[in-house]
Chains A and B, each alone.
Chain A
Amino acid sequence: MIITKFKARILTSGLLVATMLTVVAGASGGPASATAKKSPPYLVGVPMPMTGAEAQAGTQIFNAELMAVQQVNKHGGIFGHPIKLLEQDDACDAGTAVNAANKLISEGVQAIVGGYCSGATLPVEPIIARAGIPYVMPAANSPELTTGGYKNVFLIDPSGSGDGAEAAAFFKQQGITKVFIIDDQSSFGVAIANAAAADITKDGGTVVAGGVQSIPATSNDFSAVISQIKNSGATGIYWSGYFSQAAQFATQLNAANVIGPNGTAKFVVADGSVDATYLSGAGAAANGTYATIAALASGVGNVLNTHADQAFNVAYHKEFKSAPGPYSTFGYDAITALVLAARHVKSIKPGRVIAGLRSLHFNGLTGKVSFDKTGNRLGAVMDLLEVVNGQYTLANPQPKL
């Protein structure tokens, strides 16, 4: 195991170089015109997974933040201060994230707008709180994130506890009482799995196999788990983890005749598994599976491919030559929230910006943005999505909470 640790350390330092290159490229690619004014730049730290298994989502969010910053800087920045993003790789890992946050703070950032993996944002919260600067998270949404009592934390993505409640309501609507719940051992996955287990039990259902199960996020083989599911007689399966494993799980459940044309069970995934890669990875096996996600997220962000999605998608594609992810618009709104808060209080002092975020109301790409006392996004409504012919659609009927 010493080797593993050692390897991880080398990995981190090796990737630091790669990250720095990205930052330089990002900075040189940014708008130079806005720096014509004399005001010093407003530094915003962006810790995001740029390497590792979640690098894809991290990049998609960071790119959207860059887009927002370019727009703001084109229109004079924040009272003449051009925004400059300083990116740090958190590798979706607690230890790396702590180093990244410390580094950003020592570089003098005036706000942090980042975070996709809850496991990499939780340990960073007290560090950023001590620095006294605003911490706006585009996509991390474990329910634990807003229970620490930090005044500077704001979640653009509504708390994940809604996922569990929505899934429980769906199982109840379907008359499914025996549910097999499994998470990926990540902070996000475990928190939502436990929330779902509590809601299902409250609704009179049973969590089979002696409680919530976990599988390492690195596993791609679910055969042993599937035998467990068959043995337990569960007719509902709830996956609380990320999209790559969700696709493999669905494919293998389908091949084992647990779900799909020859199966009888219903497969539901939490919002971390909503992604185009889930659809392409699981292929036909994805059809007839369900996902829960904040209504704000499914409305915009190329999941349902609505009209509003397309304008953003086109602009994003033009800039980065690739499609945005489901959380890209959240990154865009996170930057917008910060800028509007600063403009609202007419100050870039961290304490004032935090106060500005607290009383913020605006219409973003993800819908109405405002926060409650703990920093949770207000007005979160969950949608149940069903995959039909390889596309996400709104399930009909929606379960009643």
Chain B
Amino acid sequence: MSLLLNEIGNGIFLGAFFGLVALGYSMVYGILRLINFAHGDFYMVAAFVSYTILGAVLVGNSHGQWLTVLWVGVLVMVITGGLAMLANQLVYRPMRRAAILSLMIAAIGLSQVLENGVLVTPQWGATYLVFPVTTPPSGFNLGSNHYTWAQLIIVLVSGLLALGVYFLVGRTLLGKAMRAVSEDRIAAVLMGINVDLVIAIVFFIGGALAGAAAVMTGVYYGQINYLMGFTVGLEAFTAAVLGGIGNIGGAVLGGLVLGIVQSIGTGIFGAEWAIVVAFGALVLMLWFRPTGLLGERVARRM
């Protein structure tokens, strides 16, 4: 029983990352019906950017480094958001009238460009880079599990960011515009909504969230690699589908469920079965609820 509780705790932590990245997938899908396969690579680029910035500003500065991580994190969120916006402007916007399949292939192409771009960039390349910051092992015990303060902070930050997006989309005028574009783009144009701007903002938010997840990954796990975006992208995409793609709450819930199912799967069957259990759960879920966990709101996506 205590193993089960511990694994749920581990799963919530894991799910916090999945949820943040899944939000970006879900929002872009909600507004463009596009599965943005390059999204995991925005996350990867963000990790490298934060590695470089942190390496530059942390030289000989061990005091107040958490404040530095905070502002670098915010800066990287803005940079990654900008990168996602730029990608939208250069790749997706010229293809707005193209078939959705062409867009998806463009997304895969963009993902290759980003991965190989990082591969050939001096100082980045194919090696594992070790982050200049590490989290201290101090923390608290819950059940028989030891959690570090860093883990708690990561879960709280992820929760706050997700809550922020939830309110932005649900309660603000901008959010209303997003929902309008998601439901009917042409009608939204006729209502005087600047559709291109709204889409650009959605890309910015998705990129910024991936940026936040990347900085936290780098700081907590300590290592980054130019292929790290692929796995995370796949897991986050799964989380988004599990929760009901296009749905904000669904992305977060899907992330948490996926994290918990994987951890419990590891605890009971062993780590080699974790992914089998997770995808088995996904298949079962889609069997009974093809629209995902929160899929009943399919008519009001976003």
Contacts and interface: CB of A to CB of B under 8 A. Distances in A.
Contacts of B3: 227-228, 231
B126 A257 contact: no
Contacts of B128: 56, 243-244, 277, 281
A255 B144 contact: no
B274 A224 contact: yes
B271 A247 contact: no
B291 interface: no
A11 interface: yes
B51 interface: no
B75 interface: no
A53 B119 contact: no
Contacts of A256: 145-146
B275 interface: yes
Contacts of A223: 10, 13-14, 263
A323 B297 CA distance: 56
Greatest chain A CB density within 10 A among B14, B120, B130, B144 is at B130
B145 A213 contact: no
Nearest to A222: B271
Given A55-B127, A248-B222, A218 B231 contact: yes
- Which size bracket describes the interface of A in this complex? 35 or more
B164 interface: no
B125 to A, nearest CB: 8
A224 B267 contact: yes
Given A7-B108, A18-B116, A59-B126, A244 B263 contact: no
A96 interface: no
Q: Is the interface of A mostly helix, strand, loop or mixed?
A: helix
Interface residues of B, number: 50
Contacts of A374: none
A226 B266 CA distance: 10
B105 to A, nearest CB: 9
B271 A7 contact: no
B126 A227 contact: no
Given A51-B119, A224-B271, A247 B222 contact: yes
A220 B18 CA distance: 13
A18 B115 CA distance: 12
Given A52-B227, A213-B272, A221-B221, A4 B112 contact: no
A277 B125 CA distance: 15
Contact of B130 (A219, A220, A277): A277
B130 A281 contact: yes
Interface string B243-275: 000000000000000000011111100111011
Nearest to A14: B112
B204 interface: no
Contacts of A50: 126
Contacts of B7: 224, 227
Interface in A221-262: 221, 223-228, 230-231, 243-244, 247-248, 251, 254-257, 260
Nearest to B109: A10
B223 A248 contact: yes
Contacts of B263: 223-224, 227
B145 A227 contact: yes
Contact of B148 (A11, A244, A255): A255
A280 B134 CA distance: 11
B267 A228 contact: yes
A10 B262 contact: no
A185 interface: yes
B149 to A, nearest CB: 10
Interface in B184-242: 217, 221-223, 225, 227-228, 230-231, 234
A244 B130 CA distance: 10
B42 to A, nearest CB: 16
Contacts of A225: 266, 271
Nearest to B279: A1
Nearest to A242: B128
Given A220-B223, A255-B137, A255-B148, A51 B271 contact: no
Nearest to A55: B126
A281 B116 contact: no
Contacts of B221: 220-221, 248, 251
Contact of A53 (B2, B111, B135, B227): B227
Given A218-B231, A223-B263, A244-B225, A182 B271 contact: yes
Nearest to A218: B231
B139 interface: yes
A18 B120 contact: yes
A255 B150 CA distance: 10
A213 B111 contact: no
A225 B263 CA distance: 8
Given A14-B116, A224-B7, A248-B222, A56 B127 contact: yes
Contacts of B119: 18, 51
B225 A227 contact: no
Given A185-B272, A210-B270, A230-B144, 20 more contacts: A6-B108, A10-B108, A10-B109, A14-B116, A15-B116, A209-B270, A215-B272, A216-B271, A219-B271, A223-B14, A224-B264, A226-B10, A227-B10, A228-B271, A231-B2, A244-B128, A248-B222, A255-B135, A256-B145, A280-B130
Would you list the 9 A-B pairs with minimal beta carbon distance, nearest first? A55-B126, A224-B266, A214-B272, A223-B10, A215-B271, A224-B263, A255-B137, A227-B6, A218-B231
25 contacts: A6-B108, A10-B112, A15-B116, A50-B126, A52-B126, A56-B126, A214-B270, A216-B275, A218-B231, A223-B10, A223-B13, A224-B7, A224-B10, A224-B264, A224-B266, A225-B266, A230-B145, A231-B6, A251-B134, A255-B137, A255-B148, A256-B146, A277-B130, A281-B222, A283-B222
Interface of B: 2-3, 6-7, 10-11, 13-14, 37, 108-109, 111-112, 115-116, 119-120, 126-128, 130, 134-135, 137, 139, 144-146, 148, 217, 221-223, 225, 227-228, 230-231, 234, 262-267, 270-272, 274-275
